[in-house]
Amino acid sequence: KQEVTQIPAALSVPEGENLVLNCSFTDSAIYNLQWFRQDPGKGLTSLLLIQSSQREQTSGRLNASLDKSSGRSTLYIAASQPGDSATYLCAVARDDYKLSFGAGTTVTVRA
C-alpha cells in the first residue's frame, strides 16, 4: 500500500522568503505525482503535475521536482506572498489513476 508523507506539517514564514515543501512516498511504481493547494473549507486546486518520466515541472513561482527512485518530491515556491497561505497536498497516482494523498503542509506567510 502506498504511503505518502509530507514534512513539515506546518510552516510559517515572513513574506518574501522561499518555501520548500517535502513529499515522500514508499512505492516508486507511480504513474504521476501532483501538488495541490487547498484553502480552508474549499476543494483542491491542481498546481503542478509531474509524469513519472519527468524530473521537474515549473509554473510561475512554483517548481516541483521528482526523484522517483528515492521516492521524493519537493515543491519550491519562490518569493512567498500572503496569498500563498494555504494547505499544500501531495498525491501520487497509480496507473489506474487512483490517488494516494499526503496529510498536507499548512503554510502561513506573514505580511
Instruction: Indicate the residue among 10 and 79 with the shorter CB distance to another protein.
Output: 10
Instruction: Indicate the residue among 3 and 15 with the shorter CB distance to another protein.
Output: 3
CB of 101 to another protein, least distance (A): 4
User: Which 8-state DSSP code applies to residue 55?
Assistant: S
Question: What is the binding site for another protein (CB under 8 A)?
Answer: 32, 34, 36, 41-46, 49, 89, 91, 93, 97-104
CB of 17 to another protein, least distance (A): 24
- Separation of alpha carbons 28 and 20, rounded Å: 22
Task: Give the residue among 58, 61, 65 at the shortest CA–CA distance from 78.
Answer: 61
Task: Note if the bond before 14 is cis, omega within 30 degrees.
Answer: no
